[in-house]
Amino acid sequence: MAVLTKPESGGPLHDVCVVGAGPVGLALALEAQSCGLRVLLLEAGAQEPAQSPPDWSGSERVDAGCHAPLELATHWGLGGTSWLWGGRCVPFEAVDFQARPHLGGMAWPLHWAEVEPWYAGAARYLGCGVAEFRRPLPQALADRWRMAQIDATQLERWARQPRLVGSLGAQAAEAAGIDLLTGARVEAVVLDEAGVAVSHLQVHHAGQRHGLRARSYVLAGGALGSTRLLLQLQRRDPWRWGGDAGPLGRCYMGHIMGSIASVVLERPEDFSLLDFSRDADGSYVRRRLTPSAQAQQALALCNTSFYIDNPAFYDERHRNPTLSLVFLALAIPAIGRRLVAEAMRLKHIGPAPRRYGAHVLNVLRRPWVACADVLDILARRYLSQVRKPGFILKNPRGIYALDYHAEQVPNPDSRVRLKNDQGHLEVDFRYLAQDAESVLRAHELLDAELRAAGLGHLEYERPEGQRLAHIQEQASDGFHQIGCTRMSDDPADGVVDRDARVHGLDNLYVASSSIFSTSGEANPTLLATALGLRLAHHLAEALRPATSTRSEGP
């Protein structure tokens, strides 16, 4: 990779210009160059991500309670938002691509079989091991843990090192067919006179504006960044994509997540089935409990996953010395910000008032246990070549917090608008009552299935009449930015087609979770990367470079 110090002109025309050097942009650029394409990779931030705080001044959130601050949910620089990423890799499954009446009939133009082959390459680029996301139950537990409507075979995988600048960034640095220009902020997508193709990108670099040209262009600057550029283009041509009433910026989704109950295992030793474990290749995996596809359809459930966790660190009533010591460390900003992303730090220390004295007493009860546990956590999480994604302290009574991570119903009123000509956004992110109601029904299903199988039961934190409100109180996202430029065969229903090409423009594409038609229960990074690889091969076929070392793909 040639690291450019300024925009070049007069040289060979790049086949593809990729805007954004985050996980998806880096993987797409690497795959495209392996197919024989010459790639220009533009990054608004610096090559050193710590020097690249995103500037969202002037943008606003309509409801700050349900959407994270934009500066905590995005990151500029080489590696992009992988600097804030925990590394969890989960695939969308067949049910996610199907039309489901309880999701308003919203469906993808793609089928699962068209996407699944690209997971292997995405897993390789993201460093989470092999693309095995289903695993039969251990023989000793297979009969006892087989439930009629809850599936215990799904795996989530974790990147060995989620800050991908050290892996993908290093690969890109060695790739001869990629040119990287940092500090290059794309201000506008400029069309040709006919308005059917991109002529060039207007880029601000080192205090000057430049027009950068390529044969094709891919917006991979995250969901909000990619949507903003298209909204600016729509402001110049108000009729595009149906205007303000059209699909651009609409159906902005994430996930609804939190914890309203604990799971009590009938046999505490079953903890090992649900805990993190090391795979044969060294990466970490964990099982998720999910309603079966048949149960989702029959009970009109949004896709939902469950997994065990520690009690909230900030709740001193857990009386656990290790959790309290971790809380106290995270509560000190200078320490906590070095351990986890700021958004996660704030989540773990909880709202004020914080009972520091009670946490100190918890530690003093068994300080040797807390110190030993914390040293082990630090070694496995920060000193190991394979980063352990989290830790769950074994409870001899078999009681654990139960976390949920669930799909949102696509809602056209949850949207992103352009406030002004300076590119400032108005983010109107919303949840529907149906989102929370589905989560509660999924809990009731899980509880019934655990009891029927003799595996355990749920203990809710609040009485029955208050549980729905408890879910709604925790409803907040903004980190999993999904939708706004969703994929559809019909231009009236979406912004990009099944090949991720922007409707109405011959050479402009989007590689981002913004093109998802639904949000699924899965974190979006794996699928967004898989679709980016699929797009790289589509571009290689469409452009047919004269000199090609085209790979065969999956």
Instruction: State CA 291 to chain mean position distance.
Output: 21
Place of tokens 């909230």: 312
Can you give the pLDDT at residue 278?
Answer: 94
CA distance 130 to 283: 9
Return the structure tokens found at 207: 């205090």
**Percentage above 90 pLDDT, the chain:** 76
Return the structure tokens found at 313: 């660190």
Segment 293-296 long-range contacts (CB within 8 Å, at least 24 positions apart): 293/93, 293/94, 293/95, 294/149, 295/149, 295/150, 295/445, 296/95, 296/100
In contact, 149 and 296? CB cutoff 8 Å: no
pLDDT digits (tens, 9 = 90+) for 205-258: 999 999 999 999 999 999 999 999 999 999 999 999 999 999 999 999 999 999
In contact, 425 and 59? CB cutoff 8 Å: yes
pLDDT digits (tens, 9 = 90+) for 173-196: 889 999 999 999 999 999 999 999
Q: Give the start-end residues of each E strand in 310-398.
A: none
How deeply is 474 buried, as exposed, middle or buried, from its count of CB atoms within 10 A (0-12, 13-18, 19+)? middle
In contact, 549 and 34? CB cutoff 8 Å: yes
Contacts of 237 (CB under 8 A, 6+ apart): 191, 195
- The fold for domain 2-127+167-253+411-430+482-543 equals FAD/NAD(P)-binding domain (3.50.50)
Q: Which DSSP string do the residues of 12-51 spell out, in sequence order?
A: PPEEEEEE--SHHHHHHHHHHHHTT--EEEEESS-SSGGG
Report whether the peptide linkage leading into residue 351 is cis, meaning its omega lies within 30 degrees of zero: no
- In the chain (554 residues long), the average pLDDT of successive 10-residue segments reads 79 92 97 96 87 86 95 91 92 95 92 97 96 94 93 96 84 90 96 97 95 97 95 96 97 97 95 94 95 97 96 85 91 89 86 92 91 86 86 88 97 96 95 98 98 97 97 96 97 97 98 98 98 98 64 53
Strand, coil or helix: 141: helix
The overall pTM is greater than 0.95: no
In contact, 369 and 330? CB cutoff 8 Å: no
In contact, 416 and 426? CB cutoff 8 Å: yes
